Amino acid sequence: MTPKKFLLIFFLQWLFLALLKGLIFKYQIFANAGLQQLAFWAATIIITAALARRFGPISFLEAFIVVIAWTLGDLLLDLILLSPYAGLSIFSGMEYWTGLFIMIASIMVCHKKHHIHIRRQMQGHH
């Protein structure tokens, strides 16, 4: 994982999730708030897993570094860039914090599955 690739994927992740958070927390898209939260969490899983897999096979230490960088980076950039649009109230909602925990779990689960898959392929070729 190169620093350039890491930063590019980080900013793509933040951009996609910031747009999603801006829509979900600013507007009532679905009539049911519970359905809107589930849609947010499902989209968070899909976006995070897709972008985390772009790193290729990474170690658990690298996945942990990605988790820390993405979580702290999201919090900072959401505070600076998203809160003027969606308001500071997004930080008081449990759906926001649950979305962060879902992002962390998605990175770790996606990484583990991808890492195990690569190892099995490497063992099959030897």
Tens of pLDDT, residue by residue over 4-55, are 988 999 999 999 999 998 888 888 887 888 898 999 999 999 999 999 988 8
Six token digits for residue 1:
């994982």
Of the pLDDT bands very low, low, confident and very high (cuts 50, 70, 90), residue 126 is low
Six token digits for residue 107:
């990175």
Is residue 122 packed enough to be buried (19+ CB in 10 Å), middle (13-18) or exposed (0-12)?
A: exposed
- Total structural domains within the chain: 1
Q: pTM for this structure?
A: 0.83
pLDDT in tens, 53-89: 888 878 788 889 999 999 999 999 999 988 888 888 8
Q: Which long-range contacts (CB under 8 A, 24 or more apart) does 25-33 make?
A: 25/86, 25/87, 25/89, 25/90, 25/93, 25/95, 25/96, 26/85, 26/86, 26/87
pLDDT of 73: 94
Residue ranges making up the domain that contains 115: 3-125
Q: In angstroms, rounded to a whole number, what is the distance separating the alpha carbons of residues 40 and 36?
A: 6
- Find, among 6, 115, 2, the residue nearest to 68 by Cα: 6
Are the C-beta atoms of residues 20 and 43 closer than 8 Å to each other? yes
